[in-house]
Amino acid sequence: MNVNSFSELVEISEKTGVPLDKVVLHWEMLDTGNAPEKIVEEASKLLAIMEEEYESKKGKTFKTLVGLTGTNSKKMLEYLPNTIIGENAFTAATIAITMAESNAAMGKIVACPTAGASGVMPGVLLTLEKLGVERQKLVSGLIVAGAIGKIISKRASLSGAESGCQAEIGSATAMAAGAATHATGGTPTQVANAAALSLKSLMGLVCDPVGGFVEVPCVKRNASGAVIALLFSDIAKAGVESVVPFDEVVDAMGKVGRSMPESLRETGKGGIADTPTAKKIVQDFSNKFKL
Amino acid sequence: MSSILEIIGPSMIGPSSSHTLGAMRISRFAYNLVGSIPQKVIFYLHGSFQDTYIGHGTWLALIAGLCGIKTDEPRVSKANEIAKNLGMEYEFEPIDLGNVHPNTVKIVTYKDNAHHEIIGSSIGAGRIVITSIDSVGCELNGEYPTLLIENEDIPGALSSIIRTISINGTNIARLNLNRASKYLKLASAVIELDNEVPNSTIKSLKMLDVVKSVMYVKPI
């Protein structure tokens, strides 16, 4: 079954009344030969890893490899009672930062879809779980997210080195927005709109890690990804549509990625990495560990 | 075609799929080739691996792989201490391997009197390519059980090797031949298989007159 667009999956689901996650599981079976039960079981395990890892890392400080981050998770958890943006959004951001800091400290993470963007999905799913969304629904959301990511990987890219941060945090955010929308009862069209709207809002984001390391600005971008995902899930469920459909947004993102100069594609040479402060940090660090 | 599980996963030790997970998978391939923990290993780092081996934890991932640690075990971050306890010596050296992928490492292992050399590149999203094993060129992703056979370069050699592999119902996924020396009539075959082969097959291969040596590497 050669599916190249998300709209095909949405259409099949809406025409037949078969839930979107089940359509994705059929596609997966025809494409890869994996049994649906096996995919559900594996997706459930990935969610369990997100749950366990967050529970064990919550409120901790981290000694990261380069030491540019590691205390933000704790600060944010303590600040939670004072939040202005709202408890749910701030919780999602806190979880996302926790997982991203843990990643930078060689913790166990789920690369959903990449290690650098691994805080976004747990930020969204674990916040929904706290709100009482059933676990089985979160797993079905994760499966739908897998289809969103797979379409992005087919039509564009999930790699910062190829297409900038829009392909990593942008894709993770589109996936998480789709997952949240599906898990909370949104229609397949709303899922596609949530994914399209969130990817649009991160279009053009460059990959500019200081020294090339997954710390600055990667960790904090996970927080914005998680909050943007929840925001556009809500906006899509309110009935707001993306004028440009998801598949075309993905194509546009791929095009933008291909036109990005190499300095903005994970080389640590442009953007935030190309600031006096960043350069000093890198100089000091590499002097310490030169081979 | 890739599974959605590769999109929403895998679980791994951070921080980078190309610099940490990929590096560790190359090193695990070397571990599977050696068959156990070597006494000494030298990692020659090329390109981006050389520049960022500390900040991406590449060095710990490389050590962890050769200690037989799995790619999602949290103790990867303590691999240097684990290697010490296991008695594995390690060194890191810079190298310029020329026109290869920036994330490339050459791993040289020593165990008793045997030594092995593996060159591998981490090509993104945790995927790897092993490009050389003991100076024999290849292109392996580490996902298939693999036989490395040195054989006489004479008519019928390959067919007797293939017959011996197939007799136990093992299917060949990919086959790559190299002529090592026309003068010495030596060739090498790198054979990727769909399933693991029993010890008896490896024994039968070693008994073939045309076969000089056989190495078997389990998938990562």
CATH code where residue A61 lies: 1.10.4100
Q: Which residue from A164, A51, A174 is spatially nearest to A113, judged by alpha carbons?
A: A174
B124 contacts A147? CB cut-off 8 A? no
pLDDT digits (tens, 9 = 90+) for A25-51: 999 999 999 999 999 999 999 999 999
A227 assigned to some structural domain: yes
Contacts of B72 in chain A (CB under 8 A): 108
Task: For residue A157, give both structure tokens.
Answer: 């890219």
CB contact under 8 A, A158 and B7: yes
Domain membership of residue A168 (yes or no) is yes
What pLDDT is stored for residue A289 in this prediction? 83
Instruction: For residue A1, tell me if it sits in a domain.
Output: no
- Total count of domains within chain A: 1
**B16, B77, B91, best to mutate vs chain A, most A CBs in 10 Å:** B16
Chain A residues close to B93, C-beta within 8 Å: 291
Minimal Cβ distance to A161: which of B3, B73, B124:
B124
Is A194 part of any domain? yes
Does the residue A130 lie in any domain? yes
Residue A94, CA distances (Å) to A60, A77, A215, A216, A221 in order: 12, 7, 16, 16, 12
Domain annotation for chain B: domains and CATH numbers: 11-140 (3.30.1330.90), 146-217 (3.30.70.260)
**The predicted structure's pLDDT at residue A13:** 98
Instruction: Quote ipTM for the complex.
Output: 0.96
Residue A287 binned pLDDT confidence (cut-offs 50, 70, 90): confident
Contact between B21 and A49 using a beta-carbon 8 Å cutoff: no
- Which residue from B45, B74, B76 is facing A291, i.e. has the nearest CB? B45
pLDDT of A55 over the 70 cut:
yes
Q: Which chain A residues are closer than 8 Å to B94 by Cβ?
A: 291
DSSP per-residue letters across A82-129: G-SS-HHHHHHHHHHHHHHHHHHTT-EEE-SS-STTTTHHHHHHHHHH
Task: State the pLDDT at residue B110.
Answer: 98
Q: How does residue A58 score in pLDDT terms, banded at 50, 70 and 90?
A: very high
Please say if the pLDDT value at position A291 is more than 80. Answer: no
Do strands B127-133 and B114-124 pair parallel, antiparallel, or not at all (unpaired)?
A: antiparallel
Enclosing domain of residue A28: 6-289
State residue B133 phi and psi, 5-degree precision. Answer: -130, 120
Residue of B15, B20, B50 with shortest CB distance to A291: B50
Chain A environment of B2 (Cβ under 8 Å): 32, 150, 153
Hey, is the C-beta of B3 within 8 angstroms of any chain A C-beta? yes
| A153 found inside a domain | yes
In a domain, A67, yes or no: yes
Instruction: Specify the pLDDT at position B1.
Output: 59
Distance CA A64, CA A143 (A): 31
* Contact flag B4-A215 (C-beta cutoff 8 Å): no
Per-residue pLDDT of chain B (220 residues; tens, 9 = 90+): 589 999 999 999 999 999 999 999 999 999 999 999 999 999 999 998 998 899 999 999 999 999 999 999 999 999 999 999 999 999 999 999 999 998 999 999 999 999 999 999 999 889 999 999 998 889 999 999 999 999 999 999 999 999 999 997 899 999 988 888 788 889 999 999 999 999 999 999 999 999 999 999 999 9
**Residue A249, domain member (yes or no):** yes
Which percentage of chain A shows pLDDT scores above 90?
96
Chain B residues near residue A153 by CB distance under 8 angstroms: 2, 7
